[in-house]
Copies of this chain bind each other. A is one copy, B any other.
Amino acid sequence: MDEYVDLLKTNDLKITHHRLAILKYLDDHRTHPTAEEIYQHLKKTNPGLSRTTIYNNLETLSDSHIIQRLTICPTEHRYDFNIGMHHHFICKECGDIIDVDFQCPTVSSIKKHVADQGHRIEEVHGYFKGICKDCLEKKRREQSE
């Protein structure tokens, strides 16, 4: 928990109950949840919580690079406590976002290539879209009925 306090302090952000709760939720739920999911969960133990506070803080935390905002799904943002460079797989069927545990050694070369064109890179995102294992199996079961 002091870890979260440090993260906020380092970035000159005030230590608030909500922020700590959001960070803890993201740290405990590595499923890349949406703002709404976080809101629904934290509201249980904090009825006075406003949805806007969640949105405000997710933006603040993303801007400070304490967490990572994923723009992958067509309709909503997803958030990731893990800010290290890693790729994702998103299932078109169930919407699940899974971490891809495979470092891409080429990233640095491509970054250099883009930087050489004069652009400044601040974020790297790689993701795959398709049907996840579970959804594939579910489909197979349905067909063999």
Contacts and interface: CB of A to CB of B under 8 A. Distances in A.
A117 interface: yes
Contact of A128 (B105, B109, B125, B129): B125
A39 interface: no
B114 A100 contact: yes
A114 B89 contact: yes
How many protomers of this protein does the assembly include? 2
A122 B71 contact: no
Contacts of A106: 104-106
Interface stretch (A5-13, A21-29, A130-138): A130-138
Interface of A: 69, 71-74, 77, 87, 89, 91-92, 98, 100, 102, 104-106, 109-111, 113-114, 117-133, 136
A122 B93 CA distance: 12
Contacts of A123: 128-130
